[in-house]
Chain A
């Protein structure tokens, strides 16, 4: 369970997150929608400690993410994150990209790591690209590789930060399909996305972010189908 409790975050003078509370239960898929600059990416990065917070607390399975004594590298093993830019390691093959963390972080043997990597890459439809370097892949393939790379750590949570926003339109579908598959398998996920239809399909709850706050939250049918706040209505209109 991810428990976000009254979190504030600022970059210098700029207050980016102004008191967000959100709880994501095991097996739940929560989508975060909202305008650019509303703090969605920042919140995701606070969840796995890539960004610090000013006040409040974030707990993952009861572990305080930002407490000084927390072994953050250990905690990150169970929180996968996929970014907007696909971030393939260019000097490693697809297989090596996926094997790196299981080998170096989890200390798996080469054989185990490879087995896991092949399994995950097959899962995302890249079984025929194992020995290829990422530079030779399309954006959609690189993004699916990034998903496999995160999944190879057997995470309990997956965070997606606009995973399809940097892709050519014809490549968006394949990545969304991969994410949908994950959701159906019961992965606990937090998705930042502009794909409203997709969010409505796969989410258990949707949160609309505005100015560093959760402005409206509820089931997809409530927030997307029948939004109550004028700002939510405007936002949904603006991206349709």
Chain B
């Protein structure tokens, strides 16, 4: 018969790791979304003036995340900052997410037809009111699927933080593998947990999208 030394406690250990993965994703996406909306708006509305910003963000988009983690971690030590590994992870992932979110928001804003903005301004709305009541809501609907993809990809990228010593889902599973020597089983379970977490996020997103689409 099938027998395993994988225990209930091991499973709880994996769930703890999954919790850390979720928290990291949440932290990174909070930073990435707020900063990304800001940078994306600036990029769309002031394309010339913010060109240097796009060069900077390109760096974070193109350098592999692992290198960013290790570099930032050493920078932290050199600068003598007393930040936890979790904070470092959130910041690095947050900046990484910012770089992608900026592009997502920028293309969302640029997708709002100029004629609509002209129509709203003709009603007497100010520049900022037009942004707030016309441009942002429409851009949100356009940008949302891309943003959701970003959440899913950041969730998987959190696995890299084990290199700076955080026990998230993948690291937790490796610890167990080392002990019980059943890599296939443990990795399948870890994979399943990733899958379920992604599924929940994707489903929530899909529900929001259908609600918007019913209106079109």
Interface residues of A (CB under 8 A from B): 48, 50, 73-74, 76-77, 79-81, 83, 85, 87, 89-91, 100-101, 104-106, 133, 135, 146, 149-150, 153
Q: What total count of A-B pairs have CB within 8 Å?
A: 66
Count, chain B residues at interface, CB 8 A:
21
CB of A195, distance to nearest CB on chain B (Å): 22
Question: Smallest Cβ distance from B129 to chain A, in angstroms?
Answer: 5
**Least Cβ–Cβ distance between B127 and chain A, in angstroms:** 9
* C-alpha gap A74/B126 in the complex (Å): 10
Residue pair A87, B119 in contact (C-beta under 8 Å): yes
Are A76 and B215 closer than 8 Å at their CB atoms? Answer: no
Which residues of the other chain, A, contact B197 by a CB distance below 8 angstroms? none
Contact of B116 (CB < 8 Å), options: A76, A89, A105, A106:
A89
Q: A104 and B133: CB pair below 8 A?
A: yes
User: Digit string of B202-216 for contact with A (CB within 8 Å is 1, else 0)?
Assistant: 000000000010011
8 contacts between A and B (CB under 8 A): A73-B126, A74-B124, A77-B124, A79-B122, A89-B119, A91-B137, A101-B120, A135-B216
A105 with B215: CB separation less than 8 A: no
Would A101 and B216 be within 8 Å (CB), given that A87-B115, A87-B119, A89-B116 are in contact?
no
| Chain A nearest CB, measured from B15 CB (Å) | 39
Among residues of B, the one whose C-beta sits closest to the C-beta of A87 is B119
User: Do A50 and B216 touch across chains, with their CB atoms under 8 A apart?
Assistant: no
Which of A74, A85, A91, A105 is close to B123, meaning CB atoms less than 8 Å apart? A105
B122 close to A48 (CB less than 8 A): yes
B122 in complex: contacting residue of A81, A85, A90, A104, CB < 8 Å: A81
Most chain A C-beta atoms within 10 Å of own C-beta, residue among B116, B123, B126, B212: B123
